[in-house]
A and B are shown apart, each in its own frame.
Chain A
Amino acid sequence: DTAVSQTPKYLVTQMGNDKSIKCEQNLGHDTMYWYKQDSKKFLKIMFSYNNKELIINETVPNRFSPKSPDKAHLNLHINSLELGDSAVYFCASSQGMRISTSGVSETQYFGPGTRLLVL
């Protein structure tokens, strides 16, 4: 199936641990994103990345780092996990980020989410 996939689906870990969440897209897109959805259901963008530039939301702690081994993958690594990191993390992808000359914006495709619980 063509899609954006994430692993693991659920992640329960202790405070202070380091963990990674993997994301893969087989849509041939050149831009990938990580979002955090908190308990109030707000979706907040954390990173956007294509093969040219990484855009970091300045509110994201530097304990979070995206790593892209290739164009189809953007993994999220989290150091020294804290209780407040508990949330659902969504990966997404799109073809480009700019509005084209026709005025139509790109569509983002989201993964199923990774539910992280820090104890």
Chain B
Amino acid sequence: KNQVEQSPQSLIILEGKNCTLQCNYTVSPFSNLRWYKQDTGRGPVSLTIMTFSENTKSNGRYTATLDADTKQSSLHITASQLSDSASYICVVSGGEHDMRFGAGTRLTVKP
């Protein structure tokens, strides 16, 4: 069973709307949690990195939250744009060389 579960699997929203993607994990011990954006046919691009002491971090219109107690993270996208259409991948590190990847949420933003 994957230790990083993302939901929803796919999401379609209209341009300008907000959305929230979820990431639940069971990785332990916990080191850090990252959100990546992966455009079709491209490599992942880092959006945010959070350690256990951080519970929110923003990168432009992207805001990630982390609740280390409940082992949940969310990625909130504000005022979506067509270019936000991509897969969003949650990655949880349990140690120096241990990175567990979620399957991703496929976001489609329609005009």
- Bound CA span A41–B105, Å: 10
Stretch of A60-68, A71-79, A110-118 on the interface side: A110-118
Main secondary structure of the interface of A (DSSP, over half): loop
Binary B-proximity of A46-65 (CB < 8 A = 1, otherwise 0):
00100000010000000000
Report the interface size class on chain A: 20 to 34
B44 at the interface (CB under 8 A from A): yes
Are B104 and A90 in touch, CB under 8 angstroms?
no
Q: A43-B101, A98-B96 are in contact. Are A110 and B44 (CB under 8 A)?
A: yes
Are A111 and B31 in touch, CB under 8 angstroms?
no
* Nearest A residue (CB) for B49: A105
A32 at the interface (CB under 8 A from B): no
A14 at the interface (CB under 8 A from B): no
Near A by CB (< 8 A), chain B positions 32-46 give 32, 34, 41-46
Chain B residues whose C-beta falls within 8 Å of the C-beta of A48 in the assembled complex: 97
* Nearest A residue (CB) for B106: A41
- Bound CA span A4–B41, Å: 15
Chain B residues whose C-beta falls within 8 Å of the C-beta of A108 in the assembled complex: 44, 46
Are A105 and B32 in touch, CB under 8 angstroms?
yes
Binary B-proximity of A84-119 (CB < 8 A = 1, otherwise 0):
000000101000011100011101111111000000
Contact of A42 among B31, B41, B53, B101 (CB under 8 A): B101
Which B residues are within 8 Å of any A CB, using their own CB? 2, 31-32, 34, 41-46, 49, 51, 53-54, 87, 89, 91, 93, 96-97, 99, 101, 103-104
The 7 closest A-B pairs by CB, nearest first: A110-B43, A43-B101, A105-B32, A55-B97, A103-B51, A107-B46, A105-B49
8 other A-B residue contacts (CB within 8 Å) besides A48-B97, A90-B44, A110-B45: A42-B2, A43-B91, A43-B101, A44-B101, A97-B96, A103-B51, A103-B54, A108-B46
